[in-house]
Amino acid sequence: MSPESVNYGENESPADIWALGCAVVEMVTGKPAWNVEKDSSMWSLLLKIGAGEESPMIPEDLSKEGKDFVEKCFVKDPRKRWTAEMFLNHPFIEEGKNANDSSPRNHFDFSDWVSSVGDSTPSFPEFEESCQWDFVSCSCSVSNRLRQLVTVEMPVSWSESDSWISVR
């Protein structure tokens, strides 16, 4: 929670930026942003956030740009805290913009994605015999795979209950 959320119940965009800083710290360290004692109460943490002058610890293993990014997230005064638009031009974000990701970022990228693991297609002989499915052309676009599934000469009968297992 951001200081303004604790003190005034404000949950506007600056509080989201504070939460972003906490998330970055947690992703880097694998631990919550606030280093609290195991037996301390939630109230003492809220007091520390709302009335205290300290901010969450910034991990030493972060780059200079990463530390600056997180420091700007943890500015106590929400009016002085950077906005999301400002962060889009921050060097910490800029350095990752031109990276070529080999992994799809969303489901629309999947059809163009080539797996680095290899083309190991599982074998289902009973399915291959009954439907004449062409597994080789299955590596093409998503729309072609769906088209093949829908236009199979002998479509799969989902209503046959011989192979279904009852789960209660």
> What local confidence, expressed as pLDDT, does residue 146 receive?
67
Task: Tell whether the model's pLDDT for residue 160 goes beyond 90.
Answer: no
Mean pLDDT of 110-128: 52
The beta-carbon contacts of 140-149 under 8 Å, at least 24 apart in sequence, are: 140/111, 141/111, 142/110, 142/111, 143/111
Confidence (pTM)? 0.57
- CATH 1.20.1250.20, applies to 3-97: no
What confidence tens digit (pLDDT) does each residue in 36-81 have?
A: 777 788 888 888 888 888 889 899 989 999 999 999 999 999 999 9
Residues of the chain with CATH 1.10.510.10: 3-97
